[in-house]
Amino acid sequence: MPRPRLDAPDTDRTMQVVNHIRALLENGALQPGDRIPPERVLARTLKISRASLRTGIGYLVAMGVMKVRHGVGTFIKDGPAEFSKASLGLMGALYGFQFWQMFEARLIIESSLAALAAERGKEEHYAALAEEVAEMYAIADNPADFLVHDMLFHRIIAKASGNPILAALIETITTAMYEKRRKTVERANYLREMAEMHREIYRAIRARDPVEARKQMENHLRTAENAQNLELPGIHASRPARPRAKKLPAVLGSSSAQ
């Protein structure tokens, strides 16, 4: 029986695992949602220790390629592609990413995604968007549930754009923001207005009007940033000037929104 190669540097062993999994994905031996072979099998195949194998798998999990289901196994990640939220969070802590900078990134990427969705979207995407808008209206008095459908709406647009790289970038940004947002969304009392904005985005995409879709998405994101700044007072300090967004309902200025 071959002995594990324990003398190789940790980085080399990690990349050996990464390259092996990449090869399995490229040749179709593994597909999204598949469970990877057992540790003992992979370690024997790669001639490395199981501890080294776990290090390599941990790297792939951090990259967003794999997901560990405790007690079940390790799987190739299924669902929307995303880059590592952990890495984004680490970079944010290291370089001091600001809330407005995250929104600015969303504005640049998502406005383009909306325009692309208007050009490339299919009936299945239109139907899914319409369903999410209907759900938003139905649960406008339930902020936590509204946030879930908000995320799904934007995810469908990203998918409809036909560009998985841009979709992965925005998925990473929005999911990284989600954890903070879900802690404050209960303060939101303007969700019916937000549902209306989502409806206008949907209408522009359904009409295959990329210019209007871009415009509606930009207006929505600028308005959403202003609204969320009221939920999180103080985090938007030192923000450069930007064109004024659509005016929000007067209720946003009330003490209940704080």
Whole-number pLDDT of residue 235: 46
Instruction: Give the integer Cα–Cα distance in Å for 258 and 45.
Output: 58
Read off the pTM.
0.66
Instruction: Give the integer Cα–Cα distance in Å for 196 and 178.
Output: 21
Contacts of 52 (CB under 8 A, 6+ apart): 4, 6, 8, 10, 13, 14, 17, 43
Whole-number pLDDT of residue 8: 46
Helix 99-120 with 143-160: angle, nearest 10 deg: 50
Q: Per the structure block, which two tokens stand in for 107?
A: 């504005």
Q: Which of 201, 156, 147, 198 minimizes the C-alpha distance to 177?
A: 147
Fold agreement (10-76, 85-257): no
Contacts of 230 (CB under 8 A, 6+ apart): 187, 252, 253, 257, 258
Q: For the chain, which residues make up each domain, given as ranges?
A: 10-76, 85-257
The CATH architecture to which 10-76 belongs is Orthogonal Bundle (1.10)
Contact 23, 49 (CB under 8 A): no
Q: Per CATH, which fold does 85-257 belong to?
A: Four Helix Bundle (Hemerythrin (Met), subunit A) (1.20.120)
Give me the tens of pLDDT residue by residue for the chain, a chain 258 residues long.
444 444 445 678 888 998 899 888 888 899 888 999 999 999 999 999 988 898 888 878 866 678 888 888 899 887 666 666 656 665 666 567 888 898 999 999 999 999 999 999 999 999 999 999 999 999 999 888 899 899 999 999 999 999 999 998 998 888 878 777 877 888 888 899 999 999 999 999 999 999 999 999 999 999 999 888 877 655 444 454 444 455 444 433 333 333
